[in-house]
Structure 1
Amino acid sequence: MYKVAAPHIRRVIVLGMAAGPRIGPSELFRLAWTDVELAAGYMRMPNAAKGAKEDSRIVPIRDDILPLLRAWKEEDEQRGCPWGIHWRGRPVRCIGHAWHQARKAAGITRRITPYSLRHAMPTEALEHGADVKAVAEVMGHADPTMLLRVYQHTRYRLRKKAVNAAPGLKLDGI
């Protein structure tokens, strides 16, 4: 999908998968380049109005996307655009149409939405050994159990590993 998506959708995919923000005007679409500290390797992600004590949270930037963010920032500075997600220099409020165009162009028939990125990020992170509390903080949740209840989706491979984790049943004598 990334390969066939419009530039602003590519940015949503990368930042959604890398940082797990709420996709939309409550968080990701409010992210400005002044919130992104590339040299220090973090961004101040705006917090949604959902009871957060602070107006933003610190989200470390993945090492593998730093070069891409540098290129995007330079491109946007040249055009005088302050936003991380924009369409031709204008702020974005909604990406539904462009998202579904990219999904169809990629041949994806399953219904996935931009918010699916918010579920995919913790699923991938936790599956690969990330700390639950750290993932919750990156996503803006005060209670890490929210991840386990709502956001973490297990794959068959992990369920198979779970049933085989205990010692064998020792059925040789039956």
Structure 2
Amino acid sequence: MGPSELFRLAWDDVDLVAGTIRMPNAHKGAGADSRIVPVRDDIVPLLRRWAAEDAALGCPWVIHWQGKPVRCIGHAWHTARRAAGITRRITPYSLRHAMPTEALEHGADVKAVAEVMGHADPTMLLRVYQHTRFRLRKKAVNAAPGLGIEPDSAPDAGHGDS
């Protein structure tokens, strides 16, 4: 969900009963103008609280500053990062890369993750967004059938029968 998507998100797009968000698609040639994104169950109560607070203010936007829509968060992001003592260059877009990496590592379906992120083609997700960790590469190597050799009985490397 890029900034242009989140900044256009209104509370009318959030269905807290169904636990879904009608996320506006980025203007990058997407076929549809929006997509339905499920909300994590543990986030729904927080969104309910925020929706009630914003309704009391008469604010229709999910992302806002004092009731006004937000268009850019660069300065606020860098200020918050510095205040938190975070010295690494990390951006909100970094979180877009972290989400599919974490989701796929924990067993999410590739096509489902791609659809949630707004990609019609899962290869975009695999090519650009997913970053694998060594632990997963090791798991991939060990997933193949073994050679049937017991570790203690394996021949020494470079020593054949002469």
- TM-score strictly above 0.5: yes
Q: Which residue of 1 aligns with 2:81?
A: 103
The SS at the match of 1:71 is helix
The higher-RCO structure (CA 8 Å, 6+ apart) is 1
Larger CA deviation: 116-125 vs 143-152: 116-125
CA distance in 1, matches of 2:130, 2:155: 40
Q: Report 1:25-104 matches (<5 A).
A: 26-104=4-82
CA RMSD in angstroms comes to 1.4
The SS at the match of 1:58 is strand
Equivalenced residues, count: 152
Unaligned runs of 5+ in 1: 1-20
- 1:44-89 superposed Cα distances (whole Å, 9 cap, x missing partner): 0001111112111000111010011001100100001000000111
| Structure with bigger gyration radius | 2
Q: Which residue of 2 aligns with 1:152?
A: 130
Unaligned runs of 5+ in 2: 157-162
TM-score (norm 2): 0.88
- 1:109-135 superposed Cα distances (whole Å, 9 cap, x missing partner): 111111111111111111111111111
- 1:85-121 superposed Cα distances (whole Å, 9 cap, x missing partner): 0011110000011111121222221111111111111
The SS at the match of 2:22 is strand
The SS at the match of 1:146 is helix
Q: Which residue of 1 aligns with 2:120?
A: 142
Partner of residue 162 from structure 1, selected from 118, 136, 140: 140
Establish whether residue 116 from structure 1 lines up as the match of residue 94 from structure 2.
Answer: yes
